[in-house]
Amino acid sequence: MSDRIEEIRSDFSLLEDWEDRYRYIIELGQDLSPYPEDARDDDHKVPGCVSQVWLKTYVGDGTDPLLRFDGDSDAHIVRGLVAIVLALFSEERASRILDIDAEATLRELGLDEHLSPQRANGLRSMVKRIKSEAAIATTPA
């Protein structure tokens, strides 16, 4: 598990109420790297999200490449959720991404209980997209 997701998990455990956790999620989104303007298109848009969400994948070399993701959203809270998803998956090998139990991590953070159904669906769509990218990256040409 990446150091970044462990840091988020630790910070979440220190925050007593969900008002503080929502503020923290928004702060995480503010810390995202700038998203490339040329990737704000339909090819990079994640379907199934109420807000607009874009994910750009960078694939390394080899049969089990390292994958890196950039992401963004037009909604503050969703941008923070993008940051959590990227902390979980970015800079991991494709095979590792396929093995990560994102649902368990998001449940552990309490996100499954405290997100609207639309945001929860969007979060699942992001995870599905990233796992699909990892599966493609491990498929021989």
Please answer whether residues 130 and 69 qualify as being in contact, where contact means their C-beta atoms are separated by less than 8 angstroms: yes
Query: Residue 137: in which H helix or E strand, if any?
Result: helix 117-138
Is residue 23 flagged as an active site residue?
Answer: no
Q: Can you tell me which residue has the tokens 């928004």?
A: 26
Does residue 56 contact residue 44 with C-beta atoms inside 8 Å? yes
Q: Which residue out of 8, 25, 49, 127 is catalytically annotated?
A: 49
Closest CA to 52 of 73, 69, 31, 33: 73
Q: To which H or E segment does residue 113 belong? A: helix 111-114
Active site residues: 49
